[in-house]
Structure 1
């Protein structure tokens, strides 16, 4: 699995941990209000009812029932009540009774140890019948194998015909989510939407250390150096030992990561490492070979030499690096707005008086700031060419978008997806507290893993609540009850800095030259960057690396990446 997919997988798993409060998106409070209004005014299944009125549907329900066979990996986070399972559960019962749709797994396989991927690849290789729907998030190479098999329909045409306005508006927030699943101009896969800005980072700083040492919030890299110097040299924990440092980062997996991130240092110099960014001439360029990358590496080398970074950074993965922050060894860590849910609260296990606070990522010498971006999508739905009634999937998913993604007041999903599972009545009032519900999450039983999500809604709502806005809708009330103020404040910062987001713009299948040369180029890059950061190689060795990278396939990859980008975007 490549670095991009590792980050997506990590973010996916963590989102599961903090699903009640941690997610994201970006438009502002007006965007939240617009999204709320759209969802609450949208009649259930209006688009689908009109489209399939003659296909055995009456009063929003198929009669006789239609069976949808499907495949999706089942993760260890999916918890069932006794007597229920993947085919027999509260959500499957609801789909049958409400919509006349029988949901049936073609076969069941766990997501762990590549069991699902292995079984699905075997099915492809032996030409076994495919189910009506495959819903998947994970190995992008497997997605491309499925698309290349030619066994799935142009889902974009079906989407245009059958998707509800709520779903279409959600998809239109970022049309580039279609790009990874396009082939010959056709949209073969439907992106599974997620909350926007979910993994976009903020800077978390030990506020008690700042106050003790009389420090001000860092707005620039120069300001940040002063803070890190104090954290490394002025005994912020008061134990009389020189055992603390400034910034917790780990680049065992990569520099631009989902937690304990250092990509924003590159962003301060106008680039983002290990991803393809849009250059001034409108073409894609690889961020690790730009002049800005050299400046960022020089900065990291300087900080390492001054003791602002952990000497073990090259051995630390993202979680291990964050543990230095929670253990009270480091004063700063950079990561998503949801980190108070996990793992930042662990800092108080070691020091009950510890305080931390979110700040914007700082700007560089030219006033630039940049952070890596999070895709609005997390997974894909593929529709079998032989599916007798593909419109039935839209009947199902439209209902979830129209009624569950941002439920109206008084609607059937006002408090959650299923009473007795994700919400219960306690003393006459609804609650989603896991202590009362048992921690069941029926949205995880849905074909698309999370039910339905409107990308811009979550972060805009969190920002609204951070400013003291009234929680008026069911969605807002749920977030207000489940989200601590520290997380609300961090979400507001994420949204305020949305214009500095730098998205990975190459989301296609590995190009021909990538398939041959990527392993060599990646090793070359990691070795060079590590040597420079640790001061074992001079900063000018970066120039030799760039020349070698270009000559070893990098120039050809750049051409191939831009050919792909032109094919899916039309140069937009």
Structure 2
């Protein structure tokens, strides 16, 4: 039932490619340990410890060992002059500093990775470690083709790797565990960081003298005012209060404000799992969206507009409020014409319909899947050392020169050559935490203070200062990391534990394989028609049809998995 919308995927790729390494921890000296309280655990920092792996002696293999892998790539330059997939800054670093010679057997575009891996599995010709999907992990485990990493992780996992796993949430380890055995290392992701918030046009709010959207009633009042009170002052009834797209991606946060959770499995009062899209709260929020459509607050053509088309309407000054994620302000800023008068959008936490806080839904906090080790590999712990090296160079480095050599330099994305990657759950949101003391000061940061920041943070601090000094082209960065920006909103979600994870973490069940595509299509069609004006009672019919056409069987299979996980 897991679905990665194009919007979310593009945002994750943007974060990985454009903002690599943001929101990271500070270096710690050798031997330094952290003892965070439970409330601090989510924002504990990685450590730069010379020997954080427990492998061979000082952590360096002597003589060097060779490990093989395959690699996915995106469509941008990743090699400098004279480099290739087996001779680049990363392969050189890993051999010199860890005694690990990484041999890449092949590289394919990300879109072709799953097919390439399927062919590789079918041939049983596997590299030593590689990246797999949920279904491939289950297949490899069942066939006995991958290593049990339970003891390897317990005995050899560096502190940095453990911290990333902890921040990603227990669900990522649960998803990698079969019958009590850890069979993979989760490729931790940023789905929590991409929890939605409300972005509102500041100029329209000021013109109409509207309060901030602290409650759902406030938000609904803003939407109505943006629709009926001519906020663009052109004398026409041509603006919409809330941005909605044809796949309903932009309204997941709105639904969450009504405690409705579309397309994920949630726990019911009896301790079992139920499908969020068929719960009574979903009927309530669909009724509200229908009312907003009838009163012109939603674009009449939303049913044929994807998120890209909605973004065009936003750029054309037709929409005044929508739900989006942490970097939305950067995208909004880049879409504006620097020669014209610009518009600021202000982020706010997603409000709730009642006194209970909004919980923001997210799927399992992994990026592309899981890293696995081929059965019989002599040094399975090497994969953990490679992951630790990634964290140190991608997140902990504080040198501009090292950053250019291993991450971004001369328009080359060197970071793609790291053989194993893990993303910090709040890597971009935490920039706001690190910059806050400097941005609250009345004086500019000293050289010593700037030296405590990593390169990306120094760059962002500089952009925010430029914005404060009148360079409006930098407001997108300020919208994320300045005081009160979207980064601080995400960290508020973290502090208040405002997350609603998908409780089903397994591979697709037999009924899902057979029925899910049909049921998902029916769901979107029914929800869209209800918003467009069909009887709200059609929701009840949909629930019955969903159960009859395969939902009951999926629910049984999901709960069988849940009881035995």
Q: Which category of TM-score, normalised to the shorter sequence, fits these structures?
A: 0.7 to 0.9
User: Which is further off, 537-546 or 311-320?
Assistant: 311-320
8 Å Cα contact 1:151/1:384 also seen in 2: yes
Deviation sequence 1:401-460 (CA, Å, 0-9, x none): 4x33653xxxxx32258354368xxxxxxxxxx7xx4233322211124xx544356534
Deviation sequence 1:12-52 (CA, Å, 0-9, x none): 32223432476799x9998489734x615xx323432xx43
User: Which is further off, 361-370 or 161-170?
Assistant: 361-370
How far apart in 1 are the matches of 2:24 and 2:302?
A: 28
Aligned pair partner of 1:463 in 427, 433, 442:
433
Unmatched tracts of structure 1, length 5 or more: 54-58, 408-412, 424-433
8 Å Cα contact 2:290/2:531 also seen in 1: yes
Structure 1 residue 335: Cα displacement: 0.9
Aligned pair partner of 2:53 in 33, 47, 57:
47
Structure 1 residue 475: Cα displacement: 5.0
How far apart in 1 are the matches of 2:95 and 2:315?
A: 47
How far apart in 2 are the matches of 1:340 and 1:141?
A: 35
Q: Give yes or no for the alignment of 1:4 onto 2:11.
A: no
How far apart in 1 are the matches of 2:100 and 2:91?
A: 8
8 Å Cα contact 1:70/1:131 also seen in 2: yes
Structure 1 residue 89: Cα displacement: 1.0
Deviation sequence 1:317-369 (CA, Å, 0-9, x none): 22322232222111112111111222443145585231111111121145552
**Aligned ranges 1:80-479 → 2 under 5 Å:** 80-112=79-111, 114=112, 116-127=113-124, 129-136=125-132, 140-173=134-167, 174-195=169-190, 197-252=192-247, 255=248, 257=249, 261-349=250-338, 351-365=340-354, 367-373=356-362, 375-378=364-367, 379-401=369-391, 403-404=392-393, 406-407=395-396, 413-415=397-399, 418=402, 420-421=404-405, 437-449=409-421, 452-456=422-426, 458-466=428-436, 468=439, 474-475=452-453, 478-479=456-457
User: Which is further off, 439-448 or 211-220?
Assistant: 439-448
8 Å Cα contact 2:386/2:419 also seen in 1: no
How far apart in 1 are the matches of 2:401 and 2:38?
A: 25
How far apart in 1 are the matches of 2:500 and 2:86?
A: 41
Deviation sequence 1:184-218 (CA, Å, 0-9, x none): 33221110123462211111111011111211112
How far apart in 2 are the matches of 1:108 and 1:400?
A: 19
Structure 1 residue 289: Cα displacement: 0.5
How many residues align? The count is: 525
How far apart in 2 are the matches of 1:321 and 1:228?
A: 16
How far apart in 2 are the matches of 1:314 and 1:193?
A: 34
Q: Give yes or no for the alignment of 1:487 onto 2:480.
A: yes
> How has the CA–CA distance of structure 1 residues 394 and 24 changed in structure 2, closer, same or farther, with 3 Å as cutoff?
closer
Structure 1 residue 181: Cα displacement: 2.7
Structure 1 residue 309: Cα displacement: 1.1
Residue of structure 2 in register with 1:14 after alignment: 14
Aligned to 1:39, the other structure's residue is in SS state coil
Residue of structure 2 in register with 1:531 after alignment: 529
Structure 1 residue 382: Cα displacement: 0.5
How far apart in 1 are the matches of 2:8 and 2:375?
A: 28
User: Which is further off, 285-294 or 478-487?
Assistant: 478-487
> How has the CA–CA distance of structure 1 residues 396 and 365 changed in structure 2, closer, same or farther, with 3 Å as cutoff?
closer
How far apart in 2 are the matches of 1:534 and 1:28?
A: 49
How far apart in 1 are the matches of 2:356 and 2:179?
A: 41
Deviation sequence 1:141-173 (CA, Å, 0-9, x none): 344444444211112331112111232233123
Aligned to 2:68, the other structure's residue is in SS state strand
How far apart in 1 are the matches of 2:122 and 2:38?
A: 50
Superposition TM-score, scaled by structure 1 size: 0.84
How far apart in 2 are the matches of 1:524 and 1:194?
A: 30
8 Å Cα contact 1:31/1:456 also seen in 2: no
How far apart in 2 are the matches of 1:541 and 1:264?
A: 23
User: Which is further off, 238-247 or 485-494?
Assistant: 238-247
Aligned to 2:303, the other structure's residue is in SS state coil
Aligned CA RMSD, in angstroms, stands at: 3.0
How far apart in 1 are the matches of 2:493 and 2:76?
A: 32
> How has the CA–CA distance of structure 1 residues 34 and 331 changed in structure 2, closer, same or farther, with 3 Å as cutoff?
closer
How far apart in 1 are the matches of 2:202 and 2:337?
A: 13
Structure 1 residue 69: Cα displacement: 0.3
8 Å Cα contact 1:461/1:476 also seen in 2: no
How far apart in 2 are the matches of 1:559 and 1:222?
A: 38
Aligned to 1:320, the other structure's residue is in SS state helix
Aligned to 2:109, the other structure's residue is in SS state coil
8 Å Cα contact 1:231/1:331 also seen in 2: yes
Structure 1 residue 464: Cα displacement: 4.7
Structure 1 residue 548: Cα displacement: 1.7
Deviation sequence 1:488-547 (CA, Å, 0-9, x none): 211111222343322222121111221222122212211211110100x10111111112
How far apart in 2 are the matches of 1:311 and 1:5?
A: 22
How far apart in 1 are the matches of 2:62 and 2:261?
A: 54
User: Which is further off, 86-95 or 60-69?
Assistant: 60-69
Aligned to 1:4, the other structure's residue is in SS state coil
> How has the CA–CA distance of structure 1 residues 546 and 147 changed in structure 2, closer, same or farther, with 3 Å as cutoff?
same
How far apart in 2 are the matches of 1:304 and 1:23?
A: 39
Residue of structure 1 in register with 2:559 after alignment: 562
> How has the CA–CA distance of structure 1 residues 16 and 461 changed in structure 2, closer, same or farther, with 3 Å as cutoff?
closer
> How has the CA–CA distance of structure 1 residues 267 and 533 changed in structure 2, closer, same or farther, with 3 Å as cutoff?
same
Superposition TM-score, scaled by structure 2 size: 0.84
